[in-house]
């Protein structure tokens, strides 16, 4: 054999060995097939990255997985190296049958790709029994409306509903809820939850529970509307979703309230179910639940939307047409069901009797839905039901709540604003940016009425003859001003905190925190609220910088589909004797789905010095 031929055969052997090393460790690879992709190719595959939760960003994929639990990875470098995790997964699934059951979604996908022998068995009786119990035939994305009285649900909450074969919307008894949430100790306060939730201080994990329990929690106990977005996932996509959920049992993620939250985790699941989706790429900074619902719908995943009104909305629809005398009967019957036997009630028509009795029963249930029923409440409920059942079942008026605008059809949650204004006889220009979410003058369609939730809003002002400076930085601004009625008596409250320049001392950026509580009422179509407040402020314009001030806030608001207006007055008296009085008028006009114009006028009087601020702002929601 000549030297040239020897070296030629040696080079051929080297190339053959190299090519063999690039083939997956499978039966096809062992036979020398070149049809299966290499490990390098599979490591960059969108489905593999989705299975490892390497979330999408605009330019590609994150450099590491969102999963923080080492039990999820088979390679010590798996969280940061998708190829290393693939190599370890192929090797260990090839030899360890128990891991094929633990990571069944990975196992099946690698078999489909030819990286594992298609005849390799996966004996997983536990998974088959679990799947048989759930009997998944359809999936819906569920949005529970915002609930300001719970820090974890201020923006609403999303989870998945898994329906059995042959599911019907009117019956949810056999459906399951797939929920992702932070694991919060019972003794953690709201302030501690807010801090740890923002900083990733809680573990989060997936759980599975009967769907009726979630409906009980949201629509009954917390009086939140529930929206069900039925997804058009096919059988293969549902199978991938369920197999991956099995893999995530007992796996912990670090929970972050603003981004890696319930809604973001569900987007990752849907990217596993339907390869090629890029849902997570749309949320590089924060993931507000209603925005993620909008993204799912825009991706073409939604077929139909089902609305489930809260108990409060059902009761409100029933009693809204009643006059004052009829409303009094409802209140009386809820307290004393035996009043249905008095002659004055018996003389009423059968239809009216049934409407009033049903209203009393629903009111009683609403008033005590967060408490364990006492013998007295149980007895009254039974007496009302018995009286209702003695009447014809078709008597009484229909009480179907009006279907509101779907949450994802409202304005976007981020805001940019440009304003021209005048203060202290000088013109200024302002740029504002709000990360989230909605205030009392924004278009109300798709949002809860009389509720405001704003976080991380900054305003930069440039005054003629001066440079630009930060005018205000609002960390949190929450208001809940639901009106009180004969049947509902919510407490109105507000909480604000951040930095702002006082009109009396514009050279100082003063840290502050304020809060208050009171009541709201609707009078002649206008929402009127009055709240006792307390403000703490650090102001270098004061002789003693730290000051506290009790105060009073009175507001009148009018909200229509495209126009909103408010007149508001505040009074504070600081401990150092300084009084601050503010009155303001605001008008907001929605000129397009994501565009608005807002006029603001405000006058502040402090220590006898009065200043006026007037501005016109263009607002863009995105």
Query: What distance in Å separates the CA atoms of residue 408 and residue 224, rounded to the nearest whole number?
Result: 16
- Confidence band for 424, pLDDT divided at 50, 70 and 90: confident
Handedness of CA 73, 77, 82, 88 (dihedral sign): negative
Give me the pLDDT at residue 48, please. Answer: 96
Residue 177's contacts (CB-CB under 8 Å, 6 or more residues apart) are 142, 159, 160, 161, 162, 208, 209, 210, 211, 213, 214
**For position 33, what pLDDT does the model report?**
39
Q: Kindly state the average pLDDT of the residues 25-43.
A: 58
515-558 pLDDT tens trace: 999 999 999 999 999 999 999 999 887 888 999 999 999 999 99
Cβ atoms of residues 64 and 79 within 8 Å: yes
**From the DSSP assignment, how many helices (H) and strands (E) are in the chain?**
18, 21
Place of tokens 């890029």: 278
- Rounded average pLDDT over 143-156: 84
Mean pLDDT of all residues in the chain?
Answer: 89
Q: For the stretch 3-15, what's the b/e string if a residue is b when 16 or more beta carbons lie within 10 angstroms of its beta carbon? A: eeeeeeeeeeeee
- Do you find a cis peptide bond into 365, omega within 30 degrees of 0? no
pLDDT of 168: 66
Q: CA separation (Å) from 401 to 291, 312, 555?
A: 25, 10, 28
For the ranges 10-14, 132-136, 149-153, 237-241, the maximum mean pLDDT occurs at 237-241
Architecture of domain 410-621: Beta Barrel (2.40)
Nearest to 250 by CA among 290, 287, 204: 204
Nearest to 307 by CA among 101, 484, 143: 143
Band (pLDDT 50/70/90 cuts) for residue 308 is very high
SS3 state at 357: helix
**The two three-digit tokens of residue 567, written as one number:** 């007149």
Q: Is 166 left (phi over 0), alpha (psi -120 to 50) or beta?
A: left
The answer to whether 184 and 239 are in contact (CB under 8 A) is no
Q: Please give the pLDDT value at position 371.
A: 73
Residue 171 has pLDDT above 80, yes or no: no
Taking Cα atoms as reference points, which of 140, 141, 146, 139 lies closest to residue 404? 146
Q: How confident is the model at residue 122 (pLDDT cuts 50, 70, 90)?
A: confident
Percent of the chain with pLDDT over 90: 73
Angle, helix 311-319 to helix 350-367, in steps of 10 degrees: 150
Q: What is the mean pLDDT of residues 359-386?
A: 90
Q: Quickly count: other Cβ atoms within 10 Å of residue 346's Cβ.
A: 9
According to DSSP, the residues that pair with 548 across neighbouring strands are 536
The percentage of the chain sitting over the pLDDT mark of 70, rounded to a whole number, equals 92
Over range 574-579, report the average pLDDT.
93
**Residues 6 or more apart in contact with residue 300 via CB below 8 angstroms:** 232
Q: Is pLDDT above 60 for 335?
A: yes
The answer on pLDDT for 360 being more than 50 is yes
pLDDT of 503 higher than 60: yes
pLDDT value of position 542: 83
Over residues 238-261, the mean pLDDT reads 94
Matching residue, tokens 């976080």 = 455
Residue 135 φ/ψ region, left for φ over 0, alpha for ψ in the -120 to 50 degree band, beta for the rest: left
**3-class DSSP state for residue 157?**
strand
pLDDT in tens, 252-287: 999 998 889 999 999 999 999 998 899 999 998 889
Residue 229 has a pLDDT of 97
Average pLDDT on 322-348 reads 96
Question: Is the per-residue pLDDT at 144 higher than 50?
Answer: yes
Per residue in 439-460, pLDDT (tens digit) is: 999 999 999 999 999 999 999 9
Q: For the residues 126-147, what does the mean pLDDT come to?
A: 94
pTM score = 0.88
Residue boundaries of the structural domains of the chain = 24-123, 130-308, 311-389, 410-621
DSSP E strands, 220-310: 226-231, 253-255, 302-308
- Mean pLDDT, rounded, for 319-334: 95
Q: Look at residue 304 in the predicted model and tell me its pLDDT.
A: 95
Place of tokens 């014809």: 392
3-state helix, strand, coil in the chain (%, to 5): 35, 35, 35
What b-and-e string marks burial along 147-161, b requiring 16 or more CB atoms within 10 Å of the CB? bbeebbbbbbbbbbb
Question: What's the pLDDT band for 173 if we cut at 50, 70, 90?
Answer: confident
Question: Binning pLDDT at 50, 70 and 90, where does residue 6 land?
Answer: very low
Among 57-61, 88-92, 317-321, top mean pLDDT goes to 88-92
Which of 404, 488, 415 is closest to 444 using CA atoms?
404
Q: How far apart are the first and last CA of the chain?
A: 74
Query: pLDDT, tens digit, for every residue of 336-356?
Result: 999 999 999 999 999 999 999
């Amino acid at each position: 054999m000549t030297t040239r031929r020897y070296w030629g055969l040696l080079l051929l052997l080297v190339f053959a060995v190299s090519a063999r090393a690039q083939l997956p460790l499978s039966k096809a690879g062992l036979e020398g097939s070149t049809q299966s992709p290499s490990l390098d190719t599979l490591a960059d595959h969108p489905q593999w990255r989705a299975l490892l939760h390497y979330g999408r960003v605009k330019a590609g994929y994150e450099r590491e997985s969102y999963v923080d639990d080492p039990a999820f990875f088979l390679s010590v470098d798996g969280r940061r190296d998708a190829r290393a995790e693939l190599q370890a997964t192929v090797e260990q699934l090839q030899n360890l049958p128990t891991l094929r059951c633990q990571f069944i979604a990975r196992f099946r996908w690698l078999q489909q790709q030819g990286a594992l022998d298609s005849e390799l068995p996966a004996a997983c009786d536990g998974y088959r029994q679990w799947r048989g119990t759930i009997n998944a035939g359809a999936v819906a994305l569920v949005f529970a409306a915002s609930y300001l009285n719970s820090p974890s649900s201020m923006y609403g909450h999303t989870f998945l509903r898994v329906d059995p074969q042959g599911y019907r919307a009117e019956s949810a008894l056999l459906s399951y809820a797939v929920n992702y949430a932070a694991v919060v100790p019972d003794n953690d306060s709201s302030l501690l939850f807010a801090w740890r939730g923002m900083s990733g201080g809680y573990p989060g994990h997936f759980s599975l529970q009967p769907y009726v329990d979630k409906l009980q929690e949201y629509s009954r106990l917390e009086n939140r509307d529930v929206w069900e977005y039925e997804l058009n996932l096919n059988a293969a996509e549902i199978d991938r979703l369920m197999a991956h959920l099995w893999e995530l049992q007992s796996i912990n993620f670090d929970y972050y309230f603003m981004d890696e939250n319930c809604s973001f985790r569900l987007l990752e699941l849907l990217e596993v179910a339907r390869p090629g989706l890029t849902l997570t790429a749309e949320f590089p900074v924060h993931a507000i639940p209603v925005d993620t619902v909008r993204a799912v719908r825009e991706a073409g995943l939604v077929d139909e939307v089902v609305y489930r009104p809260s108990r409060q909305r059902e009761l409100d629809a029933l009693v809204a047409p009643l006059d004052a005398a009829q409303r009094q009967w409802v209140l009386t019957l809820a307290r004393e069901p035996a009043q249905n036997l008095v002659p004055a009630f018996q003389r009423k028509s059968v239809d009216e009797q049934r409407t009033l009795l049903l209203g009393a029963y629903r009111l009683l249930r609403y008033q005590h839905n967060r408490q364990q029923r006492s013998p007295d409440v149980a007895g009254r409920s039974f007496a009302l039901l018995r009286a209702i059942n003695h009447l014809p079942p078709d008597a009484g008026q229909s009480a179907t709540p009006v279907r509101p605008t779907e949450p994802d059809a409202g304005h976007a949650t981020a805001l940019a604003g440009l304003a021209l204004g005048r203060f202290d006889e000088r013109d200024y220009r302002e740029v504002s940016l709000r990360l989230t979410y909605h205030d009392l003058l924004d278009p109300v369609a798709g949002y809860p009425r009389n509720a405001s939730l704003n976080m991380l809003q900054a305003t930069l002002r440039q005054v003629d003859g001066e440079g630009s400076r930060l005018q205000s930085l609002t960390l949190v601004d929450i208001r809940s001003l639901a009106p009180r009625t004969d049947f509902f008596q919510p407490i109105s409250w507000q909480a604000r905190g951040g930095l702002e320049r006082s009109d009396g001392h514009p050279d100082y950026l003063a840290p502050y925190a304020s809060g208050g509580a009171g009541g709201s009422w609707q009078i002649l179509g206008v929402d009127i609220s009055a709240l006792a407040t307390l403000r703490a402020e650090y102001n270098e314009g004061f002789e003693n910088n730290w000051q506290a001030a009790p105060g009073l806030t009175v507001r009148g608001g009018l909200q229509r589909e495209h126009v909103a207006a408010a007149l508001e007055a505040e009074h504070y008296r600081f401990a150092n004797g300084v009084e601050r009085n503010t009155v303001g008028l605001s008008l907001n006009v929605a000129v397009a789905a994501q565009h608005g114009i807002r006029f603001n006028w405000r006058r502040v009087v402090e220590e006898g010095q009065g200043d006026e601020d007037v501005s016109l702002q263009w607002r863009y929601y995105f």
